[in-house]
Amino acid sequence: MDAAGVRGVRFNLISMGGPSRNALESIARRVAPLGWHVQVYVEGKQLGELAPILEKLPAPVVVDHMGSIMTAWGPNNPSLRALRKLIDSGRGWVKLCGYRCSSAGHPYADVTPLARALIGAAAERCVWGSDWPHPNINGAMPDDGELLDLLSVWAPSEAIRHKILVENPAALYGFPA
């Protein structure tokens, strides 16, 4: 799989059917020598409980969907503190996604403060994702063009957007220069 370009494993700790969090450490030990990362999709409220485990993993950790931290929780919630601690450690990454954290819904403007806080904390460890094909969506399907446009609001600097869209994914996934 490494020769085919795989660079990480994903743990979906929200939906049923995948490996449980009990397998995080053993799988991380297996993929770390390959230079792979562990990506976790978790409920935001799980972050505080999972943070000590994630911080000790021998592989970098990518937290999907901005940690599923709902904007209605405000800027001083424990889940955001746990995510920031992981990012601040230099071992954590965050995948910016424009709608799953929204408490208000379309056009997802309420996500801007959260996204800006994460980018401001560590733009060098942020990557962007649309979440296409948007599994498990109830209601209107997000417009991927609109989701990408949000990145310009979150990161007005072209240099920072280049980092998030080009340089950071190249580093995380090992794309050739």
- Is 131 known to be catalytic? yes
SS3 37: strand
Gap between the Cα atoms of 80 and 11, Å rounded? 19
> 86 with 92: CB under 8 angstroms?
yes
Q: Write out the DSSP string of 131-153.
A: -TT-TT--SSPPPHHHHHHHHHH
> 84 with 120: CB under 8 angstroms?
no
Question: Can you give the C-alpha Rg of the chain in angstroms?
Answer: 16
* % helix, strand, coil for the chain, step of 5: 50, 10, 35
Distances (CA, A) of 75 to 37, 84, 145, 150: 27, 11, 27, 19
User: Which of 64, 131, 144, 149 is the catalytic position?
Assistant: 131
Active site residues: 131
